[in-house]
Amino acid sequence: MSTDDATEKARENGNGVELPSTQRLIPFENKEHNPESYEDMQLDYSPLLFSSLERYLPPNMLNLPRDRKVHFLSDILTRYSPQGEHTRVQKHRKYRQQILSNYEPRHKELYTMNAANFFVPSFLKAISENSEESFRSIMVEPTPGVYTFEMFQPKFCEMLMAEVESMERWVHDQRFHIICPNTMNKYGVVLDDFGLETMLNKLMDGYICPMSRVFFPEVGGLTLDSHHGFVVEYGVNRDIELGFHVDDSEVTLNVCLGEQFYGGDLFFRGVRCDKHVNTETQSEEVFDYAHIPGRAVLHRGRHRHGARATISGHRVNLVIWCRSYCIDRD
């Protein structure tokens, strides 16, 4: 190979580092490496997932340009994802782009993380101190593994509900069919599909992850790297209740946004493995929680729970399913 050919080959592989087809991720996380942000890139998978996986790159790849790392990691994700997953991801990307190209946000300030305007001071103080002691100082743990605390300011709750109302009005006016929040809820909106993914990524990474590392390290709380963020609605002409289930997540954040309603309490019934998920509940595992606007409930996804009937009024909840690529939930 001539010198010119070698130089061109080096350029093709980024910074003169060749990427042989046998290149693999390392088996252990490089905790000393500070990964790059991928949030400004158009990706088929969560930007946080790429940042998380970057810690497993071989040393000779850590300083490559982002596009080279994305290419390498995307290839791995495509090859090792379940059959048909890549096609599903591509279709969903087109679906989301159709929304983003046409929907005009009502409250644009919601789409950028603004902690001082979103969170109550006590929550921000606990996060800034970043210790189990500071977290517990604002929390109540009414039953093992379920934590409740004040999180959002009333203005944030009101703005997010108004934004969801605007999204739903656009859907109605455009006669656009949107994907339901999950397999059990028919009413609500997937916020990620309407452009709030980046903000919710920051919410998870900067404000949920610190608590999850402390309280849920054994179930993926140390390695949360993606999320599914949505709003669900209960009441007249909406969902009434939610049956006994577990979430498709490692850690779940559930926050009531409002409005006026009666009923709708969450009920928790302990943690089980997949094999015994429907076994009888012990008396000490029984806990019911009454929603309070702005107050969060944090629990592991496998904690069995449901929602009682919302008898009157209109209840709106923000739910974020936080996931770790390292955990196999199947």
Q: Which two tokens stand for residue 71?
A: 């290419």
CB 202 within 8 A of CB 113: yes
Please report the DSSP string for 200-252 in residue order.
HHHHIIIIIHHHHHHH-GGGTTT---EEEEEEEEEETTSB--EEEE--SSSEE
pLDDT for the residue numbered 244: 85
| List of the chain residues with pLDDT < 50 | 1-21
Per residue in 279-319, pLDDT tens?
888 888 889 999 999 999 999 999 999 999 999 999 999 99
pLDDT for the residue numbered 330: 56
Q: Which domains does the chain have, with CATH numbers?
A: 3-80 (no CATH), 107-323 (2.60.120.620)
CA 279 – CA 283 distance, rounded (Å): 13
H-helix segments, the chain:
3-12, 47-54, 66-80, 85-100, 115-118, 121-129, 132-138, 154-174, 197-203, 209-215
CA 220 – CA 316 distance, rounded (Å): 28
Q: Which two tokens stand for residue 300?
A: 């592991």
- Residue 310, strand partner residues: 263
Cβ atoms within 10 Å of 328's Cβ, excluding its own: 6
pLDDT for the residue numbered 275: 84
Whole-number Cα distances in Å, 247 to 46, 90, 145, 151, 225: 19, 24, 15, 21, 16
Rama region for 263: left / alpha / beta (φ>0; ψ in -120 to 50; rest): left
CA 122 – CA 186 distance, rounded (Å): 34
Q: Which residues contact 30 (CB under 8 A, 6 or more apart)?
A: 55, 56, 57, 59, 62
Residue 255's H or E segment, with its range, is strand 251-258
pLDDT for the residue numbered 329: 55
Upstream peptide bond of 259 is cis (omega within 30 degrees of 0): yes
pLDDT for the residue numbered 328: 65
Per residue in 159-168, pLDDT tens?
999 999 999 9
CB 242 within 8 A of CB 183: no
